[in-house]
Structure 1
Amino acid sequence: MECLCERCAKLGKTCCQEREIYITPGDVQRIAEKTGWNNFYDFCKASDLSYEDQDDDPMWAAYVFRQDGTRRVLKRKASGDCMFLGATGCVLALETRPLVCRLYPYSYNADGLYEELEEGCPVHLLTPGRTLEQELAGCSRENAYQWHHKLYAEIILEKPNHAYRSDLRPAV
């Protein structure tokens, strides 16, 4: 039986082909340890300007974006696909994948997970009688809570971007 991601891929571009994937310092370490690579990410500005609108998540804005507006993202193939996207999905084991990938399609901010899912995940393609959690192996809400906690613990390892930090004032 095809997984939900495979059915989605038959309809057009997927999240692994259209989104820029931010990776934490911990993601870098996990991926490097498993792959032996260290050239799988770049620092670049968001190509989708709506991504820069982080009013609902000041912590994300303060730590993920650097002073020059760039952030660490996975490199992409010439086709636009994530460099770790294979014929049947991500070639990285679940425990090695970037935390934002593990969390998808859950919506979240620093305070926690939202009830609604991200737009774009084709829940209409679910096998009748199965939930999203059943279709996406390992993607339970319980796991998502753990990944969310880990994501924000790793985000604060980034150097804070004082331009976004309203609680920090320049010294006089």
Structure 2
Amino acid sequence: MQLPVVAESECLCARCARHQSTCCQFSEIYVTEGDVDRIASAVGSREFYEYATPVDPIYAQQEDDPIWREHVFREDGSRRVLKHQPDGDCTFLTATGCRLPLETRPLICRLYPFDYTADGLKDRPAGGCPVELLPPGADLLEVLDISRSDAQRWHRQLYDELQVSNLAAD
């Protein structure tokens, strides 16, 4: 059965959530130390992250991004990620979406659905965002109300934070 495309009045994320797991469910979201500081200031706690090894071992194979490989993973192969609720949802996901303000959200979340490496944003979106639900001719970034300039700023911030991060500290 083919799903109808998103109506102009309906948010793509809401439609996605009704038909499949979303990027806020079951995803392992890496957080920088800067993310941790911003979120902790907003929520008054630092109990929202943990260290875990990737569920999918392919995630650790970042040959196209040596900065990511060098700065994200600890010696034991784990990295700092958001905790999940018992149902698998992100700890900050509510019935109406993310409870964090946009500029407080992890940089990884703000950048989605962009795919990227240290060299920059890629022209194609990352996998997982259901572009097939878009109306014909619609632009994904316009539908999601994401500007490329914001994404470029968040990308620079992400890699700046990665390179100053001290993974052993917490």
TM over 0.5: yes
- Matched position secondary structure for 1:95: helix
Distance in 2, matches of 1:27 and 1:10, equals 29
1:35 correspondence with 2:43: yes
CA contact (8 A) 2:26 2:84 kept: no
Instruction: Report the Cα distance in structure 2 between the residues aligned to 1:160 and 1:22, rounded to whole angstroms.
Output: 12
Aligned equivalents of 1:4 and 1:143: distance in 2? 20
Structure 1 residue 123 displacement after superposition:
1.3
Match 2:31 to one of 11, 18, 23? 23
- For 2:10 and 2:45, locate their aligned partners in 1 and report how far apart those are by CA, in whole Å: 30
Letter matched to residue 157 of structure 2: K
2:53 pairs, out of 41, 45, 64, with 45
Once the two structures are TM-superposed, the CA of residue 149 in structure 1 deviates from its matched residue by 0.1
In the TM superposition, residue 88 of structure 1 has moved relative to its aligned partner by 2.3
3-state secondary structure, aligned to 1:116: strand
Contact 1:62 1:160 in 2 (8 A): no
SS of residue matched to 2:157 = helix
Residue in 1 that maps onto 2:152:
145
- Within the candidate set 100, 111, 115, 1:103 is matched to 111
Q: Which aligned pairs between 1:65-76 and structure 2 lie closer than 5 A? A: 65-76=73-84
Give the TM-score, by structure 1 length.
Answer: 0.88
- Report the equivalent of 2:92: 84
| In 2: Cα distance, 1:6 partner to 1:125 partner | 11
1:103 aligned partner, one-letter code? L
The Cα shift of 1:155 comes to: 0.5
Alignment partners' CA distance in 2, 1:53 and 1:120? 19
Match of 2:121 among 108, 113, 119: 113
Please state how far the C-alpha of 1:4 moved relative to its aligned partner.
1.0
- 1:62-83 CA-to-partner distances (Å, cap 9, x unmatched) read 0000111110000000101100
2:161 matched to 1:154?
yes
Contact 1:77 1:83 in 2 (8 A): yes
State TM-score, norm by structure 2.
Answer: 0.89
The share of aligned pairs that are identical, in percent, is 53
After superposition, the Cα gap between the structure-2 partners of 1:27 and 1:130, relative to the gap in structure 1 and judged at 3 Å, is same
Report the CA distance between 1:128 and its aligned residue: 5.1
| Stretches of structure 1 lacking an aligned partner (at least 5 in a row) | 162-172
**How many angstroms does 1:16 deviate by?**
0.9
- Which 5+ residue runs of structure 2 have no aligned equivalent? 1-8
- RMSD over aligned Cα atoms: 1.5
